[in-house]
Amino acid sequence: MFDWTSFVHSLPLLGQALLVTLKASLAGNLFGFLIAIPVTALRLSSRPLARTLGASYIFVFRGVPLLVQLLVIYYLLPTTGLPNLSPMTAAVLALSLCSGAYIAEILRGGFLAIPPGQIEAARLLGIGAATTLVRIELPQAVRLTLPSLVNELVLLIKASALISVVGLADLSRVAQNLAASDYLFFQHYLVLALAYCLINLPLTFSGRLLERHLARSQYRAAE
Amino acid sequence: MSQSPTTPQARFPAIRLDQVGKRFGDHQVLEGIDLEVAHSEVVCLIGPSGSGKSTLLRCMAFLEHYDQGEIYIEGALIGWEIDDQGRRRRASNRRLRQSRSNLGMVFQQFNLWPHMTALGNVSEALKRVKGLSRLDAERRGRQALERVGLLDKADAHPARLSGGQQQRVAIARALAMEPKIMLFDEPTSALDPELVGEVLAVMKRLASEGMTMVVVTHEMGFAARMADTLVFLDHGRIIARGAPAQVFGEEAPPRVRQFLQDYLERNALLIDANTEAPGAMPSSISAGDGAAAATKGMF
Ligand SMILES: Nc1ncnc2c1ncn2[C@@H]1O[C@H](COP(=O)(O)OP(=O)(O)O)[C@@H](O)[C@H]1O
Ligand SMILES: [Mg+2]
């Protein structure tokens, strides 16, 4: 039933594909987080224009399917005179922009849970808005929303299966290629599914641990 | 208290309010407030809940934007700039920060940053605003914690501290920036009765060191004993002001007498229940001895 020779031979390829998947989704998550911070700040600004801007970003990048974003960035942007992007750059860009919108929505809840008095206290001490954001609001917002943030990373890793459309040999693409070459569809897709589970299981698990740790620790924002 | 030898003679009062008014929608919350606070003076704002005490204090720090009149902090208009045509415009952030650098504020809910230790809370602004190195900021932070008797809690997070300790850290955080004026908004109202005393003791020491203070409080005992001037607010207007003996005295307006009567009755109930009530109050508000009686059992 299970062809071990084929499996062993596929391992080097799968290993490389795993790296591509991890690289794209981890970079996408990191840059997405960095994008989400100013987007959240805009979203929660007291200025209507800023709020509209933040909301529009979230609307667009959550509303348009990731697949379409990938295609637009990789195939369409160069036709408008913008420079060609390498497949990996295009993939990371699309994943970042997209997860930035989702992470911004997650962080928003965290920011809203911070008592406004803490920010007034910072203002009165002369601490500027940007410093308050980074030093006082963000650390608490991240702690408050950690489970959702880890969940978002898991979702992004799974969504990254789409990056093969720009020609990247990620896990999904390599498994497809392997299956096409020796027709062992069931086996290769089984391995593919297990590979995703093996990446995401420890993530989910450590997310839970972290959550429980924070709930117990003195850092917790409640009180 | 009224004349501390350490305070240089200043050309202007620490705080001056001129016909200050504030509305929320069509609710006029403050109206025609005139008030001067001299350097080293302790002013206590008292009055029924909803009378505008917090709003007035927050206007002084421009946390609320007063929309009539003027508020001067150390001689400078806070929050607004008045142009040639007499129209008001928001002052620049830089100017607002400058005005606020004279102020330290302590809130009912402490508002400590829970992810930082006590020392982290106290030294954060020293690093980010005064630009001190981590080492210097922490040295100054420890000094501030020492002033409120919490040096040994420097490494504790707020959640590990009692309410009274948290409020003292909040006071230290404000003091570390060396403000000329301290504003307190019901600093003991969120505390269990047995923790009120330690916070009032810190405030009392501050006052005796010559700090200019404006204190919104429901601790009538503290107000009677510590205030140079009592200001009684009702429906957004000042209806009585003066030395405690005077405001608590016989000539007090009926509204003030009613307020004190209610306060006494509430505390009498407390005393009945506990036999010994912290922050207990005048057993009598009859002329003259009101203030003296008010101090009974305070410290
Ligand atoms: N942000 C706000 N928006 C609308 N109304 C407010 C706001 N803050 C305070 N008020 C109203 O202003 C009045 C005075 O409130 P406040 O200054 O908190 O009184 P106090 O501190 O004396 O209890 C109250 O009627 C309150 O409902
Ligand atoms: Mg109040």
Q: How do residues A36-77 score in pLDDT, each as one tens digit?
A: 999 999 999 989 999 999 999 999 999 999 999 999 999 998
Q: Which residues pair with B182 in a beta bridge?
A: B104, B213
- Answer whether A137's CB lies under 8 Å from A116's CB: no
Q: How many CA atoms lie within 13 A of B142 on its CB side?
A: 7
Alpha helix locations (H) across chain B? 53-60, 93-100, 118-128, 134-147, 163-175, 193-208, 220-226, 244-247, 254-274, 289-294
Cβ of B53 below 6 Å from ligand 1: yes
pTM: 0.86
Question: pLDDT tens, B240-285?
Answer: 999 999 998 878 888 898 898 888 888 776 655 554 444 444 444 4
Both tokens of residue A174?
Answer: 């390599």
**Percent helix, strand and coil across chain A, each to the nearest 5:** 85, 0, 15
Residue of B nearest to A116 (CA): B111
Give, in degrees to the nearest 5, the angle at Cα B285 between B282 and B290.
65
Of A124, A128, A139, the CB nearest to B115: A139
pLDDT at residue A221, rounded to an integer = 43
Total domain count, chain A: 1
pLDDT at residue B269, rounded to an integer = 66
pLDDT at residue B291, rounded to an integer = 40
Whose C-alpha lies nearest to ligand 1, atom 5? B24
Of B107, B114, B170, the CB nearest to A221: B114
Interatomic CA distance for residues B230 and B5, integer angstroms: 23
Interatomic CA distance for residues B67 and B80, integer angstroms: 10
Phi, psi of A168 (to 5 degrees): -90, 140
Residue of B nearest to A134 (CA): B128
Both tokens of residue B117?
Answer: 């230790």
Both tokens of residue A5?
Answer: 């020779």
- Answer whether B60's CB lies under 8 Å from B71's CB: yes
Q: How many helices (H) and strands (E) does chain A have?
A: 9, 0
For residue B159, the chain A residues in CB contact (below 8 A) are 218-220, 222-223
Q: Determine the average pLDDT of the residues in A5-12.
A: 89
| ipTM value | 0.85
The residue length of chain A stands at 223
Distances (CA, A) of B292 to A178, B207, B220, B225, B284: 92, 18, 12, 8, 10
Q: How far is A210 from chain B (nearest CA, A)?
A: 15
Q: How many helices (H) and strands (E) does chain B have?
A: 10, 12
For residue B162, the chain A residues in CB contact (below 8 A) are none
Whose C-alpha lies nearest to ligand 1, atom 7? B24
Residue A124 touches partner B, C-beta closer than 8 Å: yes
pLDDT at residue A70, rounded to an integer = 95
Q: Looking at residue B63, what DSSP letter applies?
A: S
pLDDT at residue B217, rounded to an integer = 95
Interatomic CA distance for residues A64 and A2, integer angstroms: 40
pLDDT < 50 stretches in chain B: 1-6, 275-299
Strands B27-37 and B212-216: unpaired
Domains by residue range for chain B, with CATH: 15-244 (3.40.50.300), 248-299 (no CATH)
What is the residue range of A84's domain?
Answer: 4-222
For residue B114, the chain A residues in CB contact (below 8 A) are 140, 219-223
Helix (H, G, I), strand (E, B) or coil at B43: strand
pLDDT at residue B224, rounded to an integer = 92
Q: Determine the average pLDDT of the residues in A3-18.
A: 91
Whose C-alpha lies nearest to ligand 1, atom 12? B29
Angular region, B19: left φ>0, alpha ψ -120 to 50, beta rest: left
Interatomic CA distance for residues B68 and A82, integer angstroms: 54
Res A219 pLDDT > 90: no
Nearest ligand to residue B45 Cα: 1
Q: Which residues pair with B216 in a beta bridge?
A: B45, B185
Whose C-alpha lies nearest to ligand 1, atom 17? B52
Q: DSSP for B101-114, please give it.
A: TTEEEE-TT----T
Question: pLDDT tens, A106-156?
Answer: 999 999 999 999 999 999 999 999 999 999 999 999 989 998 999 999 999
For residue B157, the chain A residues in CB contact (below 8 A) are 218-219
Which residues are CB-contacts of A108 (< 8 A; sequence separation ≥ 6)?
A40, A43, A44
Q: For B81-91, b where at least 16 C-beta lie within 10 A, e where not — what string?
A: eeeeeeebeeb
pLDDT at residue A222, rounded to an integer = 42
Q: Which residue, chain included where needed, has tokens 């997070």?
A: B157
Q: What is the mean pLDDT of chain A?
A: 91
Q: Choose the residue to mutate in B20, B22, B23, B24 for probing ligand 1, maximizing ligand atoms within 8 Å of C-beta.
A: B24
B185 C-alpha to ligand 2 centroid (Å):
7
Give, in degrees to the nearest 5, the angle at Cα B282 between B184 and B267.
75
Instruction: Find the range with the poorest average confidence among A2-6, A95-99, B107-111.
Output: A2-6
- Answer whether B145's CB lies under 8 Å from B153's CB: yes
B76 closest CA partner among B125, B146, B133, B11: B11
Q: How far is A126 from chain B (nearest CA, A)?
A: 6
Interatomic CA distance for residues B249 and B291, integer angstroms: 8
pLDDT at residue B3, rounded to an integer = 47
- Answer whether B43's CB lies under 8 Å from B60's CB: no
Phi, psi of A39 (to 5 degrees): -65, -45
Helix (H, G, I), strand (E, B) or coil at B100: helix
Distances (CA, A) of B25 to A47, A48, B22, B52, B67: 19, 19, 10, 15, 11
The letter for the amino acid at B119 is: L
CATH label of the domain that carries residue A199: 1.10.3720.10
